[in-house]
Amino acid sequence: MAEARRTQDSLRRISGSLIEAQEQERHRIARELHDDVVQRLALLSLELEGVQEDIPDVASEFRTRIGTLQNETQRITDDVQLLSRELHSSKLEYLGIVEATKVLCKEFGERHKLEIDFQSHDVPTALPTELSLSLFRVVQEALRNAMKHSGVKRFEVRLWGNNGEIHISISDLGAGFDTETAMKSTGLGLTSMQERLRLVHGEISIKSQPGGGTTIHARVPLDSGRNSLRAAG
């Protein structure tokens, strides 16, 4: 029993180290996108604006084409900024899980032309960073999966606290899938969600059936952040 516990703790530390390394890489890429790529796109947009102003009015066709390029440059800039925020959400750090998840649902819905109904209640204002980040990544992964596989454009995200636990669910009324087959597959990101939740002593459950929609439910004990820190130490 003691040997099994040591093995489990060792695996949890390894998993935690891998996830931490992944988050650091996400942060680095997000920072480079924001500080470098976005700035270069902004300069390109300004250059196009300058070129457009230098073209004589008689060459209206060229002015229009450059204006189109400028608009497309702005759209790309907006997409890169959204991608940067998806990789690393500063709102999660400074405003907490509720506001960060609300913004994620809003921006994800706008970007992919989806309707995402987000509601929350009874969530403590101060949560351990590890707990908040794990739940935030679960929502991201679940929404990406739902967008790709559900066949519908409307989703519900619920975040709430109850009896010393934090819960989050992501639901749709779409195509659904066979859960037993999905759990054996690597294509739905379920393993990644399970690993993140296991690190904070959380659990994930999936209710789905072909043609009957899908609900992904994650629950994490509120003291998991402190426990995971002790386990990782």
User: Residue ranges of the domains in the chain?
Assistant: 2-87, 90-232
3-state secondary structure 78-111: HHHHHHHHHHCCHHHHHCCHHHHHHHHHHHHHHH
- DSSP for the chain? -HHHHHHHHHHHHHHHHHHHHHHHHHHHHHHHIIIIIHHHHHHHHHHHHHHHHHS-TT-HHHHHHHHHHHHHHHHHHHHHHHHHHHHS-HHHHHT-HHHHHHHHHHHHHHHHT-EEEEEEES--S---HHHHHHHHHHHHHHHHHHHHHS--SEEEEEEEEETTEEEEEEEE-S----HHHHHH-STTSHHHHHHHHHHTT-EEEEEE-TTS-EEEEEEEETTHHHHHHHHH-
Tens-place pLDDT, residues 114-156: 999 999 999 998 888 889 989 999 999 999 989 988 999 999 9
- Tell me the range of 27-31, 170-174, 179-183, 229-233 where mean pLDDT is highest: 170-174
For residue 115, the cross-strand partners are 154
What residues contact residue 14 under an 8 Å CB cut-off, 6+ apart?
Answer: none
- What Cα–Cα distance (Å) separates residue 170 from each residue in 18, 113, 155, 191, 208? 26, 17, 7, 17, 12
Contact 130, 138 (CB under 8 A): no
CA angle 70, 71, 77 (to 5 degrees): 90
> What's the whole-number average pLDDT of the chain?
82
CATH of 90-232, one of 3.40.50.1370, 3.30.565.10, 1.10.3720.10, 3.40.190.170: 3.30.565.10
Q: What pLDDT does 226 receive? A: 47
Q: Residues of 24-35 as b/e, b for ≥16 C-beta within 10 angstroms? A: eebeeebeebbe
Burial class (CB in 10 A: 0-12, 13-18, 19+), 176: buried
Q: Is the pLDDT of residue 230 over 60?
A: no
Tokens of 164: 């010393």
Tens-place pLDDT, residues 75-120: 888 888 777 777 777 778 888 999 999 999 999 999 899 999 999 9
In this prediction, residue 166 has a pLDDT band, given cuts at 50, 70 and 90, of very high
